[in-house]
Amino acid sequence: REAGYTVDWTVNDKGHPSFELREVPEALREAWSSRKAEIDAALEARGTTRADATADQKQAAALDTRQAKDVQDRAALAEDWRSTARTHGFEPEQRPLGRTLDAAERAAAADTAVHRAAEHLAERDARFSARDLAHEARIASQGQASEK
C-alpha cells in the first residue's frame, strides 16, 4: 500500500491469507501463474481436478511437473518479467497514483492487526510469546500496516 497499490485480500479454504494487487491485470497474473496451469493439467491427465484431488495427488502432480531450475542472469530475468508485464498492459515502472495511508490510519491498522493476532493466538493458548504475537500481527497486517 505504501507504494500506492490497492491490496485485495482473500483467505483460502484452509484459512491462509493471500493477496493480489488490484492494479495488476488478471491476464498478467495468469501468465505469471504458469505452475498452477501445469499442475492442473497433470491432475486432469490423471482423471481428477484440483477440487477433487487428495493432498497426496496434488503433491505428486506438483513434483512430477517441476522442472529443474537453470541458472539465469538476474538482470535478464527481470527484463523478461518486465517484457511479459508490458505485453499484458502493465507498466511496472509506473507506480499507481493510489492513495496511501496517513500516519493515523497506519497506526489504527497496526492496532487492529495486533488485536486480531492476540485473539487468534488466544484461541489456542492462554499464553504466547511476544515473538509469536509479532509474527501473527505481521500476517494480519500485510499490506495494511507496517512496523514503522
Q: pLDDT (tens digit, 0 to 9) for every residue of the chain, 148 residues total? A: 666 777 888 877 777 778 888 888 889 988 888 888 899 999 999 999 999 999 999 999 999 998 887 888 888 888 998 899 999 988 866 666 555 667 777 777 788 888 888 888 888 888 888 888 888 887 777 666 666 6
Judge whether 40 and 50 are in contact, CB under 8 Å: yes
Q: For residue 16, how far is the Cα from the chain centroid?
A: 10
Torsion on CA atoms 147, 16, 97, 103, rounded to nearest 10: -30
pTM of the predicted model as reported, rounded to 2 decimal places: 0.52
- Looking at residue 96, its pLDDT comes to 62
Spatial separation of the C-alpha atoms in residues 98 and 129, rounded to whole Å: 36
